[in-house]
């Protein structure tokens, strides 16, 4: 891969439980506010889990033509809305891009669960002739990328990464490689997800992945690295970054947020849902990302952890970080923004990369909220920026994602210097 071709970030957009645009999201992060609450999307009485991190007060018509929005599942609406924000932020439009030299790489893990439930109910009650006509084009994961392509006339490529909770990070890394390889000059990239339905929550509940002990205090439920954590909180939303070759961005006088400098990817080849207990795969992904970026491990000041708030993930991820960073792991700051957003599944890595960009821009280390009793005895013994964010210069940040199936992905983002 030609790593001499630099790739920069020129636009940001998001819809997530903390806010429906970048300023609202970042304000929530800086305040250490939780986006978790009681489930309102459906009646959760039959479930043990009654909380989630829902997107709130989302009005798709603000970003999407109403007729088009009605043909989209929620995960696609979120992606198209976040893309509209990011394109506007980057100063790009349908009229100003070169459609053949622009691409799309979006991560999605699950697709349109609410459409599956509604259509399956009609099928079971009335037979196949009552299946909703748009069922297939609404449920499949690639439809987010397809709808973005149609909205902006993008004809270079429109690809989808489906690697569970690593999907958004893998999409960013693959987009980085596509620009480096010269396959495009601009790429719309990130992740999107919306699986807060009875089936979605029930499916994750049955494998005991979700928090069920904080139904009466939902804002306290997502507590990575804390002794009392009992599972992750399902979230939803989208994060989109506009990536460009440095030459293209400079030629049009674009404002540059940061440089997407490196990507590392590995697979545990160990278990369907559990990470390798040795942590070697995740550590290797970190090391590969640093090597790809040409960054020494002791140059990284901030690591945005996968940090799911599950008993299994948090100490094992800490082990991965120690393996990859050595003694430096105890000097840098590590935090989990999932403590505020919940777990956005395929959108998680993209929103967390976006948080790293803003952390570099503003010199602010995001907190891990609800870290009241750090699980040091359980192996969670790093500086996780407990409860309150901290000001400080950040030149290099990394963000890691771990997905069911043993997928490990890491991106490195650094302050842009010409």
CB count within 10 Å of CB 93 equals 10
pLDDT confidence of residue 1 = 44
For 4, half-sphere exposure in the C-beta direction (CA atoms, 13 angstrom radius) is: 0
User: Of 184, 187, 248, 306, which one is the catalytic site residue?
Assistant: 306
Sequence-distant (≥ 6) Cβ neighbours of residue 87 within 8 angstroms: 11, 13, 93, 152, 188, 242
pLDDT confidence of residue 27 = 98
The answer to whether domain 7-251 and domain 264-403 are alike in fold is yes
In the chain, DSSP finds a helix count (H) and a strand count (E) of: 13, 14
At 37, list the tokens: 């609450």
Domain spans of the chain, in order of start: 7-251, 264-403
Instruction: Judge contact between 365 and 272, C-beta under 8 A.
Output: no
Q: What is the pLDDT of residues 338-383, one digit of tens each?
A: 999 999 999 999 999 999 999 999 999 999 999 999 999 999 999 9
The answer to whether residue 407 is catalytic is no
Sequence-distant (≥ 6) Cβ neighbours of residue 253 within 8 angstroms: none
User: Comparing C-alpha atoms, which of 142, 244, 173 is closest to residue 408?
Assistant: 173
CA distance 285 to 266: 5
The answer to whether residue 306 is catalytic is yes
Sequence-distant (≥ 6) Cβ neighbours of residue 20 within 8 angstroms: 14, 55, 56, 57, 58, 59, 81
Q: Considering the entire predicted model, what is its pTM?
A: 0.97
pLDDT confidence of residue 288 = 98
pLDDT confidence of residue 3 = 55
Element (H, E) at 30: helix 22-31
User: Of 184, 187, 248, 343, which one is the catalytic site residue?
Assistant: 343
The pairing of beta strand 364-365 with beta strand 390-391: antiparallel
CA distance 135 to 143: 11
pLDDT confidence of residue 276 = 85
Q: Which fold, 7-251?
A: Peroxisomal Thiolase; Chain A, domain 1 (3.40.47)
Q: What is the pLDDT of residues 101-137, one digit of tens each?
A: 999 999 999 999 999 999 999 999 999 999 999 999 9
Question: Which superfamily, per CATH, for 264-403?
Answer: Thiolase/Chalcone synthase (3.40.47.10)
Q: Is 153 left (phi over 0), alpha (psi -120 to 50) or beta?
A: left
At 417, list the tokens: 């210097």
Instruction: Identify the segments of the chain with pLDDT beneath 70.
Output: 1-3
The answer to whether residue 165 is catalytic is yes
User: Of 165, 187, 356, 380, which one is the catalytic site residue?
Assistant: 165
pLDDT confidence of residue 20 = 98
């Amino acid at each position: 891969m030609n790593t001499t071709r630099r790739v920069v970030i020129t636009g940001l957009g998001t819809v997530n439980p903390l806010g429906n645009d970048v300023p609202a999201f970042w304000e929530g992060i800086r305040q250490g506010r939780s986006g978790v609450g009681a489930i309102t999307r459906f009646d959760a009485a039959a479930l043990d889990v009654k909380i989630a991190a829902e997107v709130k007060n989302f009005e798709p018509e603000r970003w999407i033509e109403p007729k088009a929005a009605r043909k989209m599942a929620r995960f696609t609406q979120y992606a198209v809305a976040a893309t509209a924000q990011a394109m506007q932020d980057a100063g790009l439009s349908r009229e100003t891009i070169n459609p053949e030299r622009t691409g799309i790489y979006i991560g999605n893990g699950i697709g349109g669960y609410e459409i599956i439930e509604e259509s399956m109910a009609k099928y079971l009650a009335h037979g196949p002739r009552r299946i909703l006509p748009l069922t297939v084009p609404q449920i499949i994961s690639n439809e987010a990328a397809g709808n973005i392509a149609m909205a902006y006339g993008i004809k270079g490529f429109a690809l989808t990464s489906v690697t569970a909770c690593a999907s958004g990070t893998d999409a960013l890394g693959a987009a980085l490689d596509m620009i480096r390889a010269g396959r495009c000059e601009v790429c719309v990239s990130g992740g999107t997800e919306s699986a807060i339905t009875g089936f979605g929550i029930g499916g994750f509940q049955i494998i005991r992945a979700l928090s069920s002990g904080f139904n009466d205090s939902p804002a306290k439920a997502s507590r990575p690295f804390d002794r009392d954590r009992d599972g992750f909180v399902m979230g939803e939303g989208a994060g989109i970054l506009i990536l460009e070759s440095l030459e293209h961005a400079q030629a049009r006088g674009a404002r540059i947020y940061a440089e997407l400098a490196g990507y590392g990817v590995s697979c545990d080849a160990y278990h369907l849902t559990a990470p390798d207990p040795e942590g070697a795969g995740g550590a290797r992904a970190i090391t590969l990302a640093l090597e790809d970026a040409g960054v020494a491990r002791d140059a990284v000041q901030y690591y945005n952890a996968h940090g799911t708030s599950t008993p299994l993930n948090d100490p094992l991820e800490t082990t991965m970080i120690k393996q990859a960073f050595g003694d430096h792991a105890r000097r840098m700051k590590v935090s989990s923004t999932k403590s505020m957003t919940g777990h956005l599944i395929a959108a998680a890595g993209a929103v967390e990369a976006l948080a790293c960009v803003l952390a570099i821009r503003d010199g602010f280390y995001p907190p891990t909220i609800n870290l009241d009793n750090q699980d040091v005895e359980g192996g969670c013994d790093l500086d996780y920026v407990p409860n309150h964010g901290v000001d400080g210069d950040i030149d290099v940040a990394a963000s890691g994602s771990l997905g069911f199936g043993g997928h490990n992905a890491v991106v490195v983002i650094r302050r842009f210097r010409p």
